[in-house]
Amino acid sequence: MSIHLTHIIQNGENAAVEFKRAAVTTDSMAKEMVAFANSQGGMILIGVEDDGTITGIDKTKQNEAWVSNIARDAVIPPIQIKSSLERVGEQEILVVEVPKGKNRPYQTRNDHFYIRVGSTNRRPSLPELMRLFQQGGTFHYDATAVDQSKISDLNLYKIASYFEPYGLSFEEEADQARLLRNVDVLTETNEVTVAGMLMFGINPQKYLHNACISFAQFRGNEIADELLNHQVIGGTLDQQVDTTLALIKNSIPAGSVIEGAKTVPTRPMYEDRIFRELLVNACVHRNYAIEGSRIRILLFQNRIEFRSPGRLPNTITIEKLSAGVSYAVNPVLLKFMENLRYVDKLGRGLPMVWNAARQLNRPVEFNEIADEFVVTLGL
């Protein structure tokens, strides 16, 4: 352990490592714990100066009990940490491991939120704080109002078609605004919700500029290779899914030979439902609070990548997704897409993708990379 710690200390502070001298205060420790818990977790080394000099801890102090009390009493909600005394050279230091929090966002007892950015901690911006609450399931961005929007921004014919299978005539509804408020298309102030705009807006991108799909096809297997095709697909989410699916099908070469009067495929390809599932997943579960990012579909010679802005919710892991555990970052959008038969909400989507890739002997990966959830499907 000491050799491993020596290497960590020599590399200095970073996004996952923080040094603290033995005289660190309770408030300072709580701030570090909150920042790590609200980010990707990390390690605090007490008894190490900012420049990496190992000065050790005060051995007369109950150090492990002290940090445990901070994690329990000075961090809201409390977090579970691991601490251990480790010898490095002639000195003893306290190693405090803070996991990525499952109940984000966390705050100090002074009601301050912090996140870890590089080797420093800072207060999150309002959009960053909103994303933390969204990941915690206490706030749903898709139910918030689109600023300055109104009912005239909605395609009322499409809304009428949506209600028709349920035996409801929207045209004959006496109070259409009330009905739209009840189904989360409008807010209580009659502004269109994010979900309402994305599903029924006449021109959703007028207000939600990057709520679209960017498709790019490359000649080779690297993003620096020649760009063969690049398109931005807008419209409502169902339109985006259908248009992008057609684009993917037309862009992937289908190897085949002629045998008699038949065309026989030489390169088995995924069924349409696999690509459709990944497109729907990207649209329904992306974080629309990240305004500067789009869903990206990157088609290479050997693979296709589905990149959706936003991290997984607090309690969801890659392993759980593979096993069929479902989640709802945008429950209103999920409701609409389910009613339009784009989603079955049973958590079968990603396991279906996994099994399809396995049957074709193709690689498939689910990853969180920076602020994106990425599915990579081998071709």
Band the pLDDT of 345: cuts 50, 70, 90.
low
Element at 305 (helix H, strand E): strand 303-309
> Is residue 60 pLDDT above 90, yes or no?
no
Domain span at 61: 2-124
Distance from C-alpha of 46 to C-alpha of 55, rounded to nearest angstrom: 9
Residues 184 and 309 in one domain: no
Contact by Cβ (8 Å): 39, 115? yes
Q: Dig out the tokens for 107 from the structure.
A: 């705050």
User: Is 10 within a domain?
Assistant: yes
Among 204, 238, 258, the domain-final residue is: 204
Residues 41 and 176 in one domain: no
Residues 225 and 185 in one domain: no
Query: Up-side HSE of residue 340: CA atoms within 13 Å toward CB?
Result: 22
Q: Which residue has the higher pLDDT, 61 or 313?
A: 61
> Is residue 256 pLDDT above 70, yes or no?
no
Contact by Cβ (8 Å): 96, 81? yes
Residues 186 and 265 in one domain: no
How high is the pLDDT of residue 161?
Answer: 95
Residues 254 and 355 in one domain: yes
Task: Using a cut of 0.85, tell me whether the model's pTM lies above it.
Answer: no
Contact by Cβ (8 Å): 200, 191? no
How high is the pLDDT of residue 130?
Answer: 75
How high is the pLDDT of residue 346?
Answer: 56
Number of domains, the chain: 3
Residues 300 and 322 in one domain: yes
> Is residue 78 pLDDT above 90, yes or no?
yes
Band the pLDDT of 360: cuts 50, 70, 90.
very high
User: Is 164 within a domain?
Assistant: yes
Residues 339, 209, 278, CA angle at the centre, nearest 5°?
A: 45
> 302 phi and psi, to 5 degrees?
-110, 0
Band the pLDDT of 259: cuts 50, 70, 90.
low
User: Is 133 within a domain?
Assistant: no
User: Is 297 within a domain?
Assistant: yes
**Would you give the end-to-end CA distance of the chain in angstroms?**
43
Q: Which of 301, 328, 317 is nearest to 368 (CA)?
A: 317
Q: Which residue has the higher pLDDT, 333 or 257?
A: 333
The CA–CA distances, whole Å, from 123 to 40, 256, 280 equal: 16, 57, 34
Q: Give DSSP secondary structure letters for 342-365.
A: S---SS-HHHHHHHHHHHTT--EE
Distance from C-alpha of 249 to C-alpha of 122, rounded to nearest angstrom: 45
CA 165 to chain centre: 33
Q: Which of 251, 182, 188 is nearest to 215 (CA)?
A: 251
Q: Dig out the tokens for 279 from the structure.
A: 């497109």
Q: What is the pLDDT of residues 295-330, one digit of tens each?
A: 999 999 999 999 999 888 766 777 777 666 666 789
Distance from C-alpha of 374 to C-alpha of 379, rounded to nearest angstrom: 16
What does pLDDT average to over the chain?
90
Band the pLDDT of 255: cuts 50, 70, 90.
low
Among 181, 204, 227, the domain-final residue is: 204
Torsion sign (Cα): 220, 221, 225, 227:
positive
Mean pLDDT of 149-173: 94
Name the strands in the sheet holding 364-369, side by side, starting at the edge strand that comes first in the sequence: 227-233, 213-218, 295-299, 303-309, 372-378, 364-369
> Is residue 292 pLDDT above 70, yes or no?
yes
User: Is 42 within a domain?
Assistant: yes
User: Is 132 within a domain?
Assistant: no
How high is the pLDDT of residue 279?
Answer: 96
How high is the pLDDT of residue 233?
Answer: 98
Q: Dig out the tokens for 269 from the structure.
A: 């390809």
Mean pLDDT of 77-98: 93
User: Is 307 within a domain?
Assistant: yes
Residues 90 and 229 in one domain: no
User: Which amino acid would we find at residue 236?
Assistant: T
CATH of the domain at 327: 3.30.565.60
Among 68, 96, 124, the domain-final residue is: 124
CATH of the domain at 12: 3.30.950.30
Residues 77 and 180 in one domain: no
Residues 197 and 219 in one domain: no
The residue behind tokens 């620096």 is: 224
Q: Which of 123, 124, 87, 118 is nearest to 17 (CA)?
A: 118
Distance from C-alpha of 178 to C-alpha of 170, rounded to nearest angstrom: 11
Residues 233 and 187 in one domain: no
User: Is 30 within a domain?
Assistant: yes
Residues 368 and 266 in one domain: yes
Band the pLDDT of 349: cuts 50, 70, 90.
confident
How high is the pLDDT of residue 353?
Answer: 92
Residues 217 and 302 in one domain: yes
